[in-house]
Structure 1
Amino acid sequence: MTVDDVAVRTEESALGASKETLEDYTLRFAPRTYRRWTPAVVGASALGGIAYLADFSIGAGIGLSHGTANALLAIGVAAIVIFVTGFPLAYYGARYNLDLDLITRGSGFGYYGSVLTSVIFASFTFIFFATEGSIMAQGLRYAVGLPVWLGYLVSTVVIIPLVVYGMKALAKLQSWTNPLWLVLMVAPLVFLIVQDPDSVQRWLSYEGTSGSGVSTAAVLLGAGVCLSLMGQIGEQIDYLRFMPPRTAGNRRAWWISMILAGPGWVVFGALKQAIGVFMAVYVLGAVGEAAAVEPIEQFTGVFRQFVPPWLVVPLALVLVVLSQVKINVTNAYSGSLAWTNSVTRVTRRYPGRLVFVCVNLAISLVLMEADMFSFLNNVLSFYSNCAMAWVVTVATDIVLNKFVLKLSPKHPEFRRGMLYAVNPVGVVSFLASSILSIAVYFGLFGESLQPYSPLVAVVIAVLLTPLMAVLTRGRFYLRRTDDGIAEPLLDAEGNPSGTHYECVVCGQSYERPDLTASAVGDTICSLCLSTDRDGQHVLPAQPR
């Protein structure tokens, strides 16, 4: 094959990819020309994505098993860990306009090493899509008698047309539906507590099936389930990457929106989990323990207290369907980004984001038909070990390796050729943390240590990430420190530069952070570089 043939093939691949990604910048830095929303709009859109009802089931499951006191402590412990680890990730996503996969590449994992974590994140999205789809199917069965298997199919297919058009459609959907969702969620609970204040005391005194009082093991077991939601920060960042540049004029609004919609999502999530315990205890006597964890049963039990009987089921159905659509468009969207990131890097071909929307939904449908909801807490407890290992490793690299040890570059690099293929700092820390915590979870180190698997995942990642950076002296972060373009990546205010350059392969114009110099001349965009199968445009490594 001649050089001209290679160039034509690369150009055809890149042109197809550019058309697919121009809407939502699947594999790219999100340019400021596209980021026209205010911080408040981006923040509200991101928070709309946490409307899911799985929190109520998670809280209910923990509370019914271990009692309210243990459940609330578990929820609080998990929320603190998630907020602390999520803050640096959300800041980097909003400040540098990158999704979590792109941040992970330059925060200890390397260009190909972060494929591991992309698969973990993709797994998070289809597990939670299946969870939320199951809840929607339960609502459809309860309200209109639709068979559960058909409800699974309906809850999957309805998402496809909503997720096709990327951030523009998602921002409108979340913003328009947030007020109705909040009214349906908050009003009945306020009314119930005012009408029946003794319900609060019954909730607080409930001891669960174990009835053993406050227990460290119970708290950590419950926290492990809640910590499985740590991967949610990735979905929040899929919205936060579209934040406008931070300036003197919007600084206050920028910080508030970033904190509330970034790590702050867990505050709202923890409240929903606590409410889930409350509602499960409230309806327990009427529906039994098995049904008390189902949100449709919880909300119909509450709605019956203050609306006419004929209105109970329609209101509950609207709430369930609205909540599930709001979160599952985000699950489908974020999952498609994660799969596309992984497959494009490994194969150097871009099959299109919509292909992976369908792949993610197909996997989710299989999980639903396999009745994953019935063993939800077991699935989440196992999965949480991997999610924690990943998120804590990246957060530790940002906080300690970048800002304390100064061994990791502060600017999050993601472009091919600038990074080593694999960085042992993140990969070794992630694998060690995951493997050891999973071993503890399955009791390989004894039953007494089994509840402490979440703690093992966090501690190993926090300790091993800086240790690996010191042992490797930070040598495997950057393959090059110069991308061949004279202009700095950041402008005078520290925001990614908005200067446009033309890609030599696809002919499209992109902003400065998305390009590097090409080894054959001119500049090349990050996606065309990713799909350069022969590597002719990749800059050579700099001498050490």
Structure 2
Amino acid sequence: MVALHAVRLDREKNVVDVDTRSANSDGIAAAKETLEDYTLRFAPRSYRKWSPAVVGISALGGIAYLADFAIGANIGIAYGTGNALLGIGIFAIVVMITGFPLAYYAARYNIDLDLITRGSGFGYYGSIVTNVVFASFTFIFFALEGSIMAQGLELGLGVPLWLGYLVSTLIIFPLVIYGMNTLATLQVWTTPLWLLLMVLPFGFLLVRHPDSVSNFFAYGGENGAGVSISGTLLAAGVCLSLIVQIAEQIDYLRFMPPRTPENSRRWWSWMLLAGPGWVLFGAAKQVVGLFLAVYLIANLPAAQGIANQPVHQFLEIYKDMVPGWLAMTLAVVLVVISQVKINVTNAYSGSLAWTNSYTRVTKTYPGRLIFLVVNLVIALILMEANMFDFLNGILGFYANCGIAWIVTVATDIAINKYVLKLSPKVPEFRRGMLYDFNPVGLVGFGLATVLSIMTFFGLFGDLLKPYSPLIAIVVAFVATPLMAIATKGKYYLRRSDDGIELDMFDEHGNPSGDTLTCTVTGMEFERPDMIASALPGPEGEIQYISSLALSTDKAGIHLLPHQK
């Protein structure tokens, strides 16, 4: 019996050793931050060397996409200027309200939207479903922007569309490899030229063709039905597919420097402008896209079928301004710059989302670059399938999922944390501190998604179809607090004590820059990223493990026990 017991103990020790070696390998691989860019955790103070202005400009560079012009043109052509403008207004208001709490938490606590979602009603594993929603957003819009660039290459250089799709995909890969370091430089340096090329045609029309303004407001769309609630809501539904853009803004905002009395005003200004404020630029681009489309429809009969394509919109206006060869050059340059600026963000954010989800499910870290390739391949398939031709349908459907997620998390922060006080105010994202699943967010998001999608497909009657975005908003806003009340908030935190005596925050409320050594990787990590290990050291001392290494602990040997 003694011998058998000794063998059993030895086997158990071997299992622990194997699991520890596995965690060591995956943890060290994930810690190569030059390539991985803090995929699985918060951005430490030592890495956040940019000013609020640089971070803000970089984040706003990610909204350089031309899809807004296409969206504005499409909804205007389908529903008329009046409905389109009202729909864009609804979109802007919803995004501003929901985007503020998310952007603030990201900039203040230096975590991305997935990490925020974990502690805001979804749980450690529960947020995987919303990560998939976000990843889908990145490849849908990558494909949309890539399609626009391919149209520009075909028009300006005679490149076949299929080859243009491939070029617009491959050009992005090398630019995204090194994460924020490269992206910040790219966004800052290309923004002035992009702004100039985008604003000039609009200003030119206002001065040279003032009658285009009255034509714009009088435009009734394809059916000329006039302003209606259904038309407005259908237009808003398409626009609201962009609500998830806040997640990409947050992928930059998490690198904001600590907020101090010295930089507080700049910090708040750039957080608001680059966070929820992105929608001001997005809404303006949608309006301009519709304006340009209406001008083409009214003045160039041959442009009827291409008035919703940004490449042709800008080319035709440039032709009225400068010689044809220069107009073509400017149009192609604008398209290429815009596509690169947004698609580096789409590819980057998508690779973070896929990697994060895969690592939590499998507890194996494959590397961010693998999922960068995956995201690009999916986007390329969508482009080759010519998704541009059924854009409204794709975005209208996707809007329901995106709205349900964003409104659920924003409601948890604003209502459950600050009004009901059932959700912990300080966001928690570490494995072991959170329950695996939290019904508060999952039920709120699930109900909002299912009911709004059923409405979108007409299962509750054609009369209600236009209201699917509104149903997603209302159900998520109501169900999330009700679930928090029903569960009394008990599924947010598995533990309230992480076993570390060092303060989590500095004197200004910023995440602390103090470091501790991870027992798995042997590397130094900042205090907010650390948790005590369940395995004591050789002398019985407390050991610490990073959230990064803990995410790849297959056997859970480092997990602290549940705290009642």
Using the size of structure 1 for normalisation, the TM-score is 0.99
Q: Equivalents in 2 of 1:96, 1:226: separation in Å? A: 29
Residues 404-434 of structure 1 show CA distances to partners (whole Å, capped at 9, x for unaligned) of 0000000110000000000000001101000
Find the partner of 2:549 among 520, 528, 543: 528
Q: Equivalents in 2 of 1:494, 1:523: separation in Å? A: 23
Q: What are the residue-to-residue correspondences of 1:221-240 with 2, within 5 Å?
A: 221-240=234-253
Instruction: State the Cα distance separating 1:288 from its structure 2 match.
Output: 3.5
> Are 2:479 and 1:458 aligned?
no
Instruction: State the Cα distance separating 1:20 from its structure 2 match.
Output: 5.0
Q: Equivalents in 2 of 1:527, 1:194: separation in Å? A: 56
Q: Can you give the 5+ residue segments of structure 2 that lack an aligned partner in the other structure?
A: 1-10, 537-542
Instruction: State the Cα distance separating 1:310 from its structure 2 match.
Output: 1.6
Which amino acid in structure 1 is aligned with residue 325 of structure 2?
W
Q: What are the residue-to-residue correspondences of 1:267-416 with 2, within 5 Å?
A: 267-284=280-297, 285-286=299-300, 287-416=302-431
SS at match of 1:291: coil
Residues 32-52 of structure 1 show CA distances to partners (whole Å, capped at 9, x for unaligned) of 111010000100000000000
> Are 2:145 and 1:114 aligned?
no
Q: Equivalents in 2 of 1:156, 1:421: separation in Å? A: 36
> Are 2:279 and 1:266 aligned?
yes
Residues 251-286 of structure 1 show CA distances to partners (whole Å, capped at 9, x for unaligned) of 000000000000000000000000000000111242
SS at match of 1:520: coil
- Does the Cα contact within 8 Å between 1:397 and 1:408 map onto a contact in 2? yes
Instruction: State the Cα distance separating 1:64 from its structure 2 match.
Output: 0.8
Q: Equivalents in 1 of 2:183, 2:387: separation in Å? A: 27
- Does the Cα contact within 8 Å between 2:55 and 2:252 map onto a contact in 1? yes
Q: Equivalents in 1 of 2:418, 2:18: separation in Å? A: 46
- Does the Cα contact within 8 Å between 1:192 and 1:305 map onto a contact in 2? no
SS at match of 2:495: coil
Q: Equivalents in 2 of 1:191, 1:8: separation in Å? A: 65
1:60 maps to 73
Find the partner of 1:494 among 509, 532, 535: 509
2:224 maps to 211
Instruction: State the Cα distance separating 1:305 from its structure 2 match.
Output: 1.4
- How many residues of Structure 1 are paired with residues of Structure 2 in the alignment? 543
RMSD: 0.9
1:438 maps to 453
Instruction: State the Cα distance separating 1:21 from its structure 2 match.
Output: 6.4
Instruction: State the Cα distance separating 1:488 from its structure 2 match.
Output: 2.2
- CA 1:487–1:14 in structure 2 vs 1: closer, same or farther (change >3 Å)? same
> Are 2:91 and 1:70 aligned?
no
Q: Equivalents in 2 of 1:318, 1:485: separation in Å? A: 54
Q: Equivalents in 1 of 2:286, 2:327: separation in Å? A: 22
Which amino acid in structure 2 is aligned with residue 92 of structure 1?
Y
- Does the Cα contact within 8 Å between 1:20 and 1:353 map onto a contact in 2? no
Q: What are the residue-to-residue correspondences of 1:170-185 with 2, within 5 Å?
A: 170-185=183-198
- CA 1:347–1:428 in structure 2 vs 1: closer, same or farther (change >3 Å)? same
Residues 2-38 of structure 1 show CA distances to partners (whole Å, capped at 9, x for unaligned) of 0222222221221112125675111111011110100
Which amino acid in structure 2 is aligned with residue 396 of structure 1?
T
- Does the Cα contact within 8 Å between 2:30 and 2:36 map onto a contact in 1? no
SS at match of 1:305: helix
Q: Equivalents in 1 of 2:103, 2:137: separation in Å? A: 18
Residues 377-419 of structure 1 show CA distances to partners (whole Å, capped at 9, x for unaligned) of 1000000000000000000000000000000000110000000
Q: Which moved more, 1:71-80 or 1:2-11?
A: 2-11
Instruction: State the Cα distance separating 1:306 from its structure 2 match.
Output: 1.0
- Does the Cα contact within 8 Å between 1:13 and 1:349 map onto a contact in 2? yes
SS at match of 2:163: helix
Residues 162-211 of structure 1 show CA distances to partners (whole Å, capped at 9, x for unaligned) of 00000000000000000000110112211221111111111111111121
- Does the Cα contact within 8 Å between 2:35 and 2:177 map onto a contact in 1? no
Which amino acid in structure 2 is aligned with residue 289 of structure 1?
Q
Q: Equivalents in 2 of 1:19, 1:471: separation in Å? A: 43
> Are 2:497 and 1:482 aligned?
yes
- Does the Cα contact within 8 Å between 1:64 and 1:289 map onto a contact in 2? no
> Are 2:123 and 1:102 aligned?
no
Instruction: State the Cα distance separating 1:528 from its structure 2 match.
Output: 0.2
SS at match of 1:516: strand
- Does the Cα contact within 8 Å between 1:99 and 1:241 map onto a contact in 2? yes
Q: Can you give the 5+ residue segments of structure 1 that lack an aligned partner in the other structure?
A: none
Residues 416-472 of structure 1 show CA distances to partners (whole Å, capped at 9, x for unaligned) of 000000000000110100000000000000000000000000000000000000000
- Does the Cα contact within 8 Å between 2:34 and 2:178 map onto a contact in 1? no
- Does the Cα contact within 8 Å between 1:53 and 1:323 map onto a contact in 2? yes
SS at match of 2:111: coil
2:266 maps to 253
Which amino acid in structure 2 is aligned with residue 422 of structure 1?
F
Which amino acid in structure 2 is aligned with residue 29 of structure 1?
F
Q: Equivalents in 1 of 2:375, 2:114: separation in Å? A: 17
Which amino acid in structure 1 is aligned with residue 46 of structure 2?
T
SS at match of 1:510: strand
> Which one has a bigger Cα radius of gyration?
2
Q: Which moved more, 1:42-51 or 1:180-189?
A: 180-189
2:486 maps to 471
> Are 2:65 and 1:44 aligned?
no
SS at match of 1:408: coil
2:561 maps to 540
SS at match of 2:306: helix
